[in-house]
Copies of this chain bind each other. A is one copy, B any other.
Amino acid sequence: MEAETQEKASVMQRVKGWLDKIGNTISSVGKEAKRLAKEDPRRVVHAFKVGLAISATSLLYYFDFFFAGFGVNAMWAVMTVVVVFEFSVGATLGKGVNRAIATLLGGALGMAAHDLADLTPEKVEVVLIGLSICVIAGVATFCRFFPKIRARYDYGFLVFILTFSLISVSGYRADVVFDMAHRRLTTILIGGCVAVLICIFVRPVWAGKDLHRYTAANIEKLGCYLESFGSAYFKESHDKNLAPLRDFKTVLISKGTEDSLVNFARWEPRHGKFRYRHPWDQYLKIGSATRECAYKIDALNCYLNSDAQTPLELRTKIQAFCTTISSKCSLALIDVAIGLRTMTCPLSSEKHIMDAKAAAKTLKALLKTELWHDTEFLDIIPVVTVASLLIEIVTCTVKIADSVEVLATKVKFKKPKPEMNRQASREKVKRIPSIEASHSVNIVFE
């Protein structure tokens, strides 16, 4: 009796444990979902847009008027919407255009292959169709390795292979190949149009705009690092707050996101402040200059936590100049970032850069003198390296400013209005949703 009660109790306990676990999992998934939605509310809108687009297309199936025309082929429309609908307008348009053109070409070629094979006896026909599929699919697959094709038309080649195979294979069976190809093309066009229209007209997400903000935010991150570097480096190690000094790390691995966004942006029509032939390639150059600067900052960052430190009293001898350089570079970068973000000519970055250059020159001259006369050489190395890295960062800052300047000239940035509150713009740059995570960029988040 007692054993039974005990057993019952233990079973109850185990069940309770399971229930707790399930409850925990559900609540943690819920929390994560809430976080994702808060981080970038456009995700929720996107999910809703996809649902809406699919429901709308499914009406093709429902209304007799359409169904009489398309029959089961109407499913291609639903399928197209599901596959083509991406987070940004550029990605959706790129996929849609690729799919439409590839379907057209694949269908035409498939019909040609079918008609050719039709002229021969049946046994030969089968071999011919099989062979043509093998050869054309093989060649098209190989073409997907061409770097230029892979960058922009990869999906198109996939759909081409698909359509060609489907149409020419149907030749084994149906003699209504033309009808099938025609219906497939029409339904895909309808599906693609629904996807593209909903994507553009319901709260659109422009990859170009995001690329623009992403580039500005990356420059800003470097600026923020340099803003706090000066004060952090010339302090005793125990009262350092290093948390804001870690943001810049994501800039180091920004290349993939940037490439994808540029790729998407190229497909987009003019929108907002971005005209039709906006020089998207220039963003790659700005990004590469930004990353170069980030590598230097990464080197600099090592000296914050390094064990081999120059004693603080020796460091203070060049504190003024180092702090000036880092704060002036920081001001310049932030000004450039705000200018880029708001598409206005940077107001004061030139002045800050001049100041930074002057400070760098003085620092160089100072290092020439017998500054640390009677100290051990080794003690000075870290601080000298920091100083020379800072001097290099001035050069990098100039490079970033120049590459943004090139963009400003090409796009004709406006003069900022005097009443514009730049601090408010800065806050805006900071509160940028996490762009890497929203666009479909293949990154393993560790």
Report which A residues bind B (CB closer than 8 A).
32-33, 36-37, 43-44, 46-48, 50-52, 54-55, 58-59, 61-62, 67, 72, 75, 78-79, 82-83, 126, 129-131, 133-139, 141-142, 145-148, 150-151, 154, 158, 161-162, 165-166, 169-170, 172-173, 252-253, 255-256, 259-260, 262-263, 284, 291, 295-296, 298-299, 302, 364-365, 367-371, 376-378, 381-382, 384-385, 387-389, 392, 437-438, 440-446
Contact = CB atoms under 8 A, between A and B. Distances in A.
A47 B135 CA distance: 9
A312 to B, nearest CB: 19
Contacts of A296: 299
Contacts of A371: 377
A165 B443 contact: no
A129 B51 CA distance: 12
A contacts with B: majority SS: helix
A87 to B, nearest CB: 9
Given A82-B162, A384-B384, A445 B147 contact: yes
A367 B369 CA distance: 18
B444 A263 contact: yes
Contacts of A138: 47-48, 50-51
Nearest to A292: B298
A187 B72 CA distance: 17
A259 B141 contact: no
26 contacts: A43-B142, A47-B138, A47-B141, A47-B142, A50-B141, A51-B136, A51-B137, A51-B138, A54-B161, A55-B131, A55-B134, A58-B130, A58-B172, A61-B172, A75-B170, A78-B169, A79-B162, A148-B445, A252-B291, A256-B442, A296-B299, A365-B378, A367-B378, A371-B377, A381-B387, A442-B442
Given A50-B161, A82-B161, A295-B298, 7 more contacts: A51-B138, A54-B133, A58-B133, A151-B445, A256-B442, A381-B384, A442-B442
Contact of A382 (B67, B145, B262, B388): B388
Given A62-B172, A299-B295, A51 B382 contact: no
Nearest to A285: B446
B61 A142 contact: no
A384 B394 CA distance: 20
A287 B260 CA distance: 22
Given A151-B445, A378-B367, A61 B169 contact: yes
Residue among A129, A299, A389, A441 having the largest count of chain B Cβ atoms under 10 Å:
A299
A79 B161 CA distance: 9
B377 A83 contact: no
B381 A376 contact: no
B368 A36 contact: no
A391 to B, nearest CB: 9
A368 B377 CA distance: 5
Contact of A133 (B51, B255, B387): B51
Top 6 closest pairs, chain A to chain B, by CB: A51-B138, A51-B134, A47-B142, A147-B445, A259-B444, A256-B256
A151 B75 CA distance: 28
Contacts of A151: 443-445
A302 B445 contact: no
Contacts of A37: 142
Point out which of A44, A137, A369, A388 has the most chain B C-beta atoms below 10 A from its C-beta.
Answer: A137
